[in-house]
Amino acid sequence: MPEVLRNGAAALFGSIRRRARTLVGAAAIGAGALAFSSCSVSSVLTPTVDVGAQTSSISQPRGLARLAPLSAMTAAYPRLSTPRASPGAAMPASEVECRRQLRRMGATYQDLAPINQGGSCRIDHPVQVSRLSGNIQMKPAATLSCDMALAFASWTKKELAPAARWRYLSGVKTIHQGSSYSCRNIAGSGGVASEHSKGNALDVMRIELKNGSDIDVRKPGWFSFRQRSLLNNVRTGGCEYFSTVLGPGYNAAHADHFHFDIKNRRNGYVACK
Ligand SMILES: [Zn+2]
């Protein structure tokens, strides 16, 4: 390398080294200042107050903490809305047929990834139902086995919607559900798995009509004549679609909601109370 170039290169590298030293010094001062509030490397590199997209004052988990649940609630009830990678892959014919009928009943649903939380808490081919026939919304979207989703979609279309039209001269706008899939035992049963843990049950808290009426199981007004007659409709009609329909008046655990399930009883016994 010619002398001139070598000198030039030396000068250039010297300049880079000096700048690098300055930067390292500045970084050391900055890191030293931040070290008072934190001792993790990622915290040093990430400002504590996020000035970007996240404007929440709640601190976001960093590094491995992101993998841990945010709260005990999240730990007990994991996010279940992960769409299935390839719906229909290796799905039994009965499940495929169920989906065909579910679509025919006018339901809007999404296939979810298999759920298996151990014990009886399991749905091999779950669906998430967000809408039923007649543009009736399901809020929040319900995670169910396809058989249960189909039973509920059929009952809504053939029993609930006509009953509401007959008694209230109105269509149904929204069904507010309180529990669909849920890994738990029957309250007070001493450890018997709930049909909710198989995705075979749904709890209805409130039915909102298009004319503004609100059939709220939890409100005292529920026992007005018209509401009571709809309630009777809900029960008797429901028994053709479900094997269990429990509502207010059955026991304290069902004072504020209707419980529907398709529990498979060997003797074909149907519980409608
Ligand atoms: Zn229930």
**Cα-to-centroid distance, 235 and ligand 1 (Å):** 14
pLDDT for position 18: 52
Q: How far is the CA of 81 from the centre of ligand 1 (A)?
A: 20
- Tell how far the Cα of 167 is from the centroid of ligand 1, in angstroms: 26
pLDDT tens-digit readout, 59-118: 455 555 554 444 444 344 444 555 555 554 689 999 999 999 999 999 999 999 999 999
CA-based nearest residue to 201, from 131, 123, 256? 123
In the reported structure, the alpha carbon of residue 23 is separated from the centroid of ligand 1 by a whole-number distance in angstroms of 63
Distance 233 CA to ligand 1 centre (A): 19
* Distance between CA atoms of residues 242 and 156, nearest Å: 12
Give distance in angstroms: CA of 227 to centre of ligand 1. Answer: 21
For the chain, list residues with pLDDT below 70.
1-89, 218-226, 228, 249, 265-270, 272-273
Residue 83 lies in a domain: no
Residue 213 CA to ligand 1 centre (angstroms): 24
254, 247 in Cβ contact below 8 A?
A: yes
Which pLDDT does position 225 carry in this prediction?
63
What pLDDT sits at residue 168? 86
As a whole number of angstroms, the distance between CA 192 and CA 111 comes to 28
pLDDT for position 253: 76
User: Cα of 178 to ligand 1 centre, how many Å?
Assistant: 8
CA 254–ligand 1 middle distance (angstroms): 8
Cis peptide bond upstream of 69, omega within 30: no
Flag whether 9 is in a domain. Answer: no
Residues with CB under 5 A from ligand 1 (ion): 201, 203, 259
Note down the domain range covering 206: 93-272
Residue 145's pLDDT is what?
Answer: 98
CA 182 to ligand 1 centroid distance, Å: 9
Alpha carbon 86 to chain centroid, angstroms? 20
Distance 105 CA to ligand 1 centre (A): 23
Number of domains in the chain: 1
- Determine, yes or no, domain membership for 19: no
Q: What are phi and psi of 35, to 5 degrees?
A: -60, -20
Tell me if 128 is assigned to some domain. Answer: yes
CA of residue 212 to ligand 1 center, whole Å: 26
- Token pair recorded at residue 145: 């086995």
Is 214 contained in some domain?
yes
**Is 87 among the domain residues?**
no
- Ligand 1 center to residue 186 CA distance, Å? 8
Q: Is residue 40 part of a domain?
A: no
Burial (CB count within 10 angstroms: exposed 0-12, middle 13-18, buried 19+), residue 26: exposed
Kindly give the distance from the C-alpha atom of residue 189 to the centroid of ligand 1, in angstroms, as a whole number.
13
Give distance in angstroms: CA of 199 to centre of ligand 1: 10
**What's the gap in Å between 255 CA and the centre of ligand 1?**
11
> With a threshold of 0.85, does the pTM exceed it?
no
pLDDT at site 121: 95
In a domain, 84, yes or no: no
Query: Ligand 1 center to residue 271 CA distance, Å?
Result: 13
